[in-house]
Amino acid sequence: MRTTTGDAAGIAGDDAPPDSPRPGRTDAVGAALLVTSTVWALVSAIGRPARPEGFLLAVLAVAAGFAAGRIGGALRPVAVPAAAAVGAIALTLLPPGRLSHGPHTPPLGYANADAALMVLATGAVCCAAWASRPGAVRLALRLLGALAALVALGLGSAAGFAASLGVLLCSLAADRTPRLIGLAGLALATCVAVGGTYAVAVDALPPGLSASLSGQLTPARVRLWHEALHTAATSPVRGIGPGRFAEVEDGGGEPGTDIPAGKGTPQSAPLQLAAEQGVPGVALLAGCYVWLLWALRRSPRGTPVVLTAAAALTGLAMQSAVDHVLSYAAVTAGAGLLAGLATSRPTRDGPPAVR
């Protein structure tokens, strides 16, 4: 008969890893990757009219969110993620006309980025549900996660709604899924999304499938992906410099598409790094993702909490492969917060619950 930990650690499966005698090693590797990414962005900008500030802000947001998540998850593993999710939902719902698709309505002004925030909110509130005692509170938290999914749908983002719904379903099944298998499946889903983006960009898919995907993604977006790959091929080592993609694309959008004009990005995080920071930039991004999976595998939190957070972060990764949602500091900070919550070490143990 398996036991679980209530308020503090969530429900731990039989495959939860033992405590590491040197838990700081994982954090040190992550910090080294972030520092290396920062340094490489600056190296890519040397001698060019580049603008690395946006990338540096994203790194800073991730680091700050991760630190806040580690602290909040250790002290209040239920209250902190629940409060973060409620705050994100409130900021999206309260401004007048937010769901009527008004132009540049706060908090982020871009429906897909707001929907990405709802995916993270769904993951956070489901993590809080697993960290709480079974009963009315857990049910209420999961209903709040369903509300976040409906908000994403109300924003007009079908991808955000699908990702939020997927997080809910994954969370419900997380207590019956071995940690390693769950993380491997989510990693495979991310690889398929990134690989599919590359395949569309290089026209490697069958004509019928390629035409169908191009129609759903919009021709303007696919054109930007082609341009990003061409740019990366001409400057494979250092790229063209952070923030300079706008100089090689003509406006970032076309009338009648869902791509905001003037954003100056190829609408894909991996392709943007390839164009602006070369192959090393993409390798560092992949390294950060692998580190995240490693940190989640070794996390002292319960398996359901870990897999729920991993599902939300996977949903965000899949969105970032086809859109520029990581260009918003609120989204990157939210991703760091969720990762910190899922890898924290709660300081208080609740009473054991048998299931």
**What confidence tens digit (pLDDT) does each residue in 143-196 have?**
999 999 999 998 888 999 999 999 999 999 999 999 999 999 999 999 999 999
For residue 22, name the pLDDT band (cuts at 50, 70, 90): low
- 354 forms bridges with which residues in the sheet? 3
Continuous segment of H or E residues that includes residue 200: helix 179-201
Q: Name the pTM for this structure.
A: 0.87
- How confident is the model over 43-66, as a mean pLDDT? 94
- 176 forms bridges with which residues in the sheet? none
Query: Which of 273, 291, 295, 258 has the alpha carbon at shortest distance from 228?
Result: 273
Query: Which of 283, 287, 263 has the alpha carbon at shortest distance from 273?
Result: 283
Q: Output the pLDDT for position 262.
A: 39
Q: Are 331 and 269 in contact (CB under 8 A)?
A: no
Q: Output the pLDDT for position 10.
A: 44
Quickly tell me which residue has 């509300």 as its tokens.
147
Query: Which of 355, 235, 246, 249 has the alpha carbon at shortest distance from 303?
Result: 355
Within 10 A of 285 (CB to CB), how many other CB atoms are there? 22
Higher pLDDT: 354 or 156? It is: 156
For residue 24, name the pLDDT band (cuts at 50, 70, 90): confident
User: Alpha helix locations (H) across the chain?
Assistant: 24-45, 53-75, 79-93, 111-131, 136-154, 158-173, 179-201, 207-217, 219-234, 269-297, 303-322, 329-342
Q: Are 95 and 155 in contact (CB under 8 A)?
A: no
Instruction: Return d(Cα 125, Cα 81) in angstroms, integer.
Output: 6
For residue 98, name the pLDDT band (cuts at 50, 70, 90): low
> Which 8-state DSSP code applies to residue 16?
P
Q: Output the pLDDT for position 23.
A: 59
- How confident is the model over 29-51, as a mean pLDDT? 94
Percent of the chain with pLDDT over 70: 83
Percent of the chain with pLDDT over 90: 66
